[in-house]
Amino acid sequence: MQNRVKNPEQAEKMPQGRSLSSALKRIIFFIVFMILLSFLVSIILITRDERREYTIRESENVLTTLSSSIQSDLTNYAELSRLIMMDDKLQEYLRAPESEIDIGRINDARYAVMDILNVTEGVDTVMIFREDLIYFSTKRFSYKFDTERLDGMDWREEILAAKGRTVMSLNSNGIAELPDGKPVLTIGRAIYDLYSQQRTGILFMNISPAVFERMLGQLQADDICICGSDGTYLAGNISYMEYFDDVFLAKGVTHRDVMQGGSRMLLSGTQIGDTPVVILRMSSYGTAGTPYRILYVLLILMVFFVFVVLGVGTFITRNVTRPIFEFSRRMERNKQSGELKKIDLEMPYSELNMLKGDYNDMIDHVNDLIATTIEQEQTLQRAQMRVLQEQIKPHFLYNSIETIGFLAMDAGAERVYDALETLGSFYRNFLSKGDREIRLTQEVQIVRDYLSLQKLRYGDIIEDEYDIADEAGDFMVPRLILQPLVENSIYHGIRLKGERGIIRVGASVSQDTLHLSVRDTGVGMPQEMIDRVLSGNRGSAEEEAAESFGLWGTIERVRIYCGREDVVSITSEPGEYTEVVFHITRGGI
């Protein structure tokens, strides 16, 4: 049945399903969107990277400059320590025997050191330790000494190993500290006698962190923190100490992104040479370093690509989608006219001409298939007629006449008359004026007449029962589908068993489907025979005769009538019964 549309013109204009034009527009929109998105992402990434690189370079410059300045100051303090250890008064103090050390000699040495310190600022104290560990400091009562650690060797091993070179440490190498716990930077070195070159003591010069504070104040740098390598705060912005990590003790400048106050910041840090001093600097990512020239190039490229995509979209619309829509409209006109005609339309490109050629070839092929289908339907109808003719077996007619003849000789004219009436009723319903379909009540009557004739021949060996639902009586079924099953039950079931048997015919309806069954109490069928019958594999002529052509042919006819394979089920138990059930949908195909 053909589909109808209320408005054919609208059907021509509106393509059904997914539209190529709409898909093309979505693709172009998606490409333009991706170009814009790529442009924005590129701007963000390039700008972020360039600003980061700029901020890193600026931080490295600041840290390098400040590091060099601190390194220079520490070098000056190291030279000052060298002047102190060469002082004559100090040399005499260190050279004197332990028995000659008194308060006067210690004060002479202390005052000599203090005179040298007057020329500079930033030195908190100088400590002088003799080899016998008699010591003094320029600030007598400013430090608390750890006498237990002082008696050990670990605090001076590194200094002695340096053999007179300066060694930087924190907080007097752990042997003394200020009462308030403030940190100091310590320059230590071994002292040698100017004449004998024998080691005579150790010098500690403690540099106050105020030196670093003054330096940062002069630079007006509130974004820098100076600390020790052990995490000791020395000067600057103390809030940066929470970000201190051992990674800043590596050579060179180390950078790390941190979050401060909800903003992403750059934390840079470096250790000053061989000293235990680390500088940390916090920098914000500002607008400086934005690569405007690169952004202009990207903008030009973006506009260019957008125009290219739009141009490609316009080209495809004019040369692909429009011809396809015109081709589709021609196909719709063919559909509305009900004719399968070829389409004569000029296409701009060979690929579209190929599509048109394939469609025209398909039209020719469909027309050929229609002609072939009609011919096959006619052939099928002729084959069905041959099947019906085959079912009218001559030997049944001969046997029926022979049975009536014996009845005439044995029983008299009245029973002969009844037999002839039954035979006439059977053939009248059997032929059914040539109809392909008959009501189930007629089909059941054929079976009744057929079994009445068979009982005349076989007597009480056959008993028939009927269980036909009322709603099944008017159900239309293919003509002559029960008689072959009943005949098969007699000749291949009950008669072979050699005893009285029952043939039960049943019919019921559920959901517009007729369930029609024939059950006999004959010899049954083995499963391999059931499988062969259901598969349509008829085998040799001898097997066909043994298994009944009527059963196989009837199954095939019902399958053709219903248009599907699953129309029949066969159950059997050898020696007990066989049941064939048809499931016929109302109206057939």
- Domains recognised in the chain with CATH numbers: 55-284 (3.30.450.20), 412-585 (3.30.565.10)
pLDDT of residue 11: 42
pLDDT of residue 192: 94
Residue 304 CA: distances (Å) to CA of 32, 44, 225, 301, 308: 11, 20, 50, 5, 6
Tens-place pLDDT, residues 454-489: 887 777 789 999 999 999 999 999 888 898 899 899
The three-state secondary structure class of 530 is helix
Cα-based angle 427, 433, 436 (whole degrees, multiple of 5): 105
pTM above 0.85, yes or no: no
- Distance separating alpha carbons of residues 253 and 283, to the nearest angstrom: 14
Q: pLDDT under 70 in the chain at which residues?
A: 1-21, 140, 287-292, 338-339, 349, 356, 375-421, 423-435, 536-549, 588-589
pLDDT of residue 107: 92
pLDDT of residue 397: 60
- Distance separating alpha carbons of residues 215 and 210, to the nearest angstrom: 8
pLDDT of residue 263: 87
Q: Which residue type is seen at 511?
A: Q
Residue 322 CA: distances (Å) to CA of 11, 336, 342: 16, 21, 19
Q: CA quadruple 32, 35, 41, 47: dihedral positive or negative?
A: negative
- Distance separating alpha carbons of residues 396 and 407, to the nearest angstrom: 16
The three-state secondary structure class of 85 is helix
Nearby residues of 217 by Cβ (< 8 Å), 6 or more positions away:
none
Among 243, 278, 207, which residue's Cα sits nearest to residue 63?
A: 278
Tens-place pLDDT, residues 206-238: 999 999 999 898 888 889 999 999 999 999 999
Q: CA quadruple 367, 373, 374, 375: dihedral positive or negative?
A: positive
Among 504, 407, 509, which residue's Cα sits nearest to residue 458?
A: 407
- Distance separating alpha carbons of residues 214 and 120, to the nearest angstrom: 14
CA 484 from chain center: how many Å?
Answer: 60
- Distance separating alpha carbons of residues 91 and 69, to the nearest angstrom: 32
pLDDT of residue 524: 92
pLDDT of residue 510: 92
In terms of residues, how long is the chain? 589
Tokens of 567: 């129309």
